[in-house]
Structure 1
Amino acid sequence: MAHALFISHGSPLEALDHSKSALAWQALASRLPRPTRILIVSAHWTASPLRLTASKAPETIHDFYGFPAPLYDIRYPAPGEPELAHDIAEHLNACEFEAQVDARRGLDHGMWAPLRHLYPEADISTVGLSINARKRPEWHYRLGQQLAGALDEETLLISSGSVTHNLADIRGSDPTIAAYVEAFQDWISSHLQTRQDDELMHYRDLAPDAQRAHPSDEHLLPLFVTLGAADASAPERFNPVVADTALAMDAYLFTRTAGTPSLQRSA
């Protein structure tokens, strides 16, 4: 069975902490079949055209500032898989999506922070994929549909973003959860469980306090990539907690249909 996963990656500090989220990611990985390769989509990489990492040894990108020094010492030395990056780019270019490979780009913290807990040995071939923040949720949903046809059952698709993401509402010293966060979190969950995909793609018009939950779209767009790649069944929800007063940390595990034999890669 092939899988697709959406993770709310939270603060870069999740890479260091033994937090509820870190423990939940570790437990989630222990339940999954070990993948041969990973394609991970990050909210922290937006590009037009789409880009895929194509280095054999992608660097660990510390794309943040003002955090404790040990965070900058972390390396996640997962091998890359340029052949997979080229195959996916070729597949997407044959569809409606322009895509390019990038041999210099490494893995940003939206990728390596959760991967460090999911697969701490960093021994699974990993390719990163950008989003395009100028495009709407529907476009990313169609992107997910096309990716599903390019990935075999040995490849785990992970999209990394956040169910809520308003950094202006983070209050590190105040444990009180912002009132709108749980309402938005519950709306997303209920619509995923009933697979109301069209309403989800119009969340800005329909969800409570959508503008405050997401002043901009980029951290929710990866969810639509996974949603488009998934089959029609309801996902399993993990880690429905809120970190730093305003970051809903939910993760969702979907099943998906593997790609056609002509696109499947040998292990």
Structure 2
Amino acid sequence: MTKAPLLFISHGSPMLALVDSPAHRFLRELGTTLPRPRAIVMVSAHWQSLNGPSVSLAEAPPTIYDFGGFPPALSQIVYPAPGAPGLAADVAVQIEHAGFPVRRHDTRGLDHGAWVPLSLMYPDADIPVFQVSLIHGAGPQEHERLGRALASLRDQGVMIIGSGSLTHNLYEFFGQPIESPAPQWVTEFADWMFDHLGRNEREAVLGYREQAPFAARNHPTEEHLLPLFVAMGAAGERSQPERIHHSVEYGVLAMDVYAFS
């Protein structure tokens, strides 16, 4: 049986759901080309839990509008995908067996790191979805270990998506046109990640904070890159990451998407 897809997606701004752009068009096309999964587990930059990961068990997860200052049309989007409470409960136990303390949430919905890309990839909202949170304060190595705890889901037809952003400095984001060119500090970081991921140089990527150019400027905080390390862990050490999309929005948001074979 072929393993279910495993992706790292840069979701950028919530406006990705509405505004035409290369990344918007790519995600719309991507959903039509991938094998249909039994369910999807999303690990989003917008859910972090203290001390260990959390798992959402909601039967009908509501759409969470965890942002402000955007047009009202964005908050009128509803993504009514069913949850997967039985599968999610099994995954919570699986993560516990890997040595993590786990919290369970019966009602938590889908944050915009989950529903924005999914609304483009699977607009019919007919694939069950649940979320696993990041671990607040934990770094790349711990999230890579969390990914390893999820790896077997792919053999069960469950797609794993880490949703963040390859670069994410909102201090330099607001007010720029979507088509603004990327400055050198964004380009050099994205190129470094492309080179080291493409060669599967895992230790270098896990140590990006010390090794990659302009790492702290592109990620003043780490939460938008941590889903990448979850994807790396789920892929396994012999995986071959492939960048399947690259574009930049608002000058500072690299919208790269990686698939892990």
1:116 aligns with 2:119: yes
Please say if residues 171 and 245 of structure 1, whose CA atoms lie closer than 8 Å, have aligned partners that are also in contact.
no
State the distance in 2 between where 1:19 and 1:75 align: 21
For 1:34, the aligned partner's letter is: R
State the distance in 2 between where 1:171 and 1:51 align: 31
Consecutive aligned runs of 4 or more in structure 1 exceeding 6 Å deviation = none
Query: What is the match of residue 264 of structure 1?
Result: none
Scaled by the length of structure 2, the TM-score of the pair is 0.94
State the distance in 1 between where 2:69 and 2:218 align: 24
Query: What is the match of residue 236 of structure 1?
Result: 242
Q: Deviations over 1:197-224 (max 9, x none)?
A: 1110100100000010100111000000
Residue 239 (structure 1) shift: 2.2
Query: What is the match of residue 31 of structure 1?
Result: 33
- Kindly report which structure 2 residues correspond to 1:35-74, keeping only aligned pairs within 5 A, or say none: 35-48=37-50, 49-74=52-77
1:219 aligns with 2:224: yes
- Kindly report which structure 2 residues correspond to 1:1-267, keeping only aligned pairs within 5 A, or say none: 1-2=2-3, 3-48=5-50, 49-173=52-176, 175-231=180-236, 232-255=238-261
Please say if residues 169 and 178 of structure 1, whose CA atoms lie closer than 8 Å, have aligned partners that are also in contact.
no
Residue 136 (structure 1) shift: 1.0
Equivalenced residues, count? 255
Scaled by the length of structure 1, the TM-score of the pair is 0.92
Residue 151 (structure 1) shift: 4.5
Residue 58 (structure 1) shift: 0.2
Q: Which stretch shifts more, 45-54 or 142-151?
A: 142-151
Q: Deviations over 1:167-222 (max 9, x none)?
A: 01115345232220010001111111100011101001000000101001110000
User: How much identity, in percent, do the aligned residues show?
Assistant: 44
Please say if residues 24 and 238 of structure 1, whose CA atoms lie closer than 8 Å, have aligned partners that are also in contact.
no
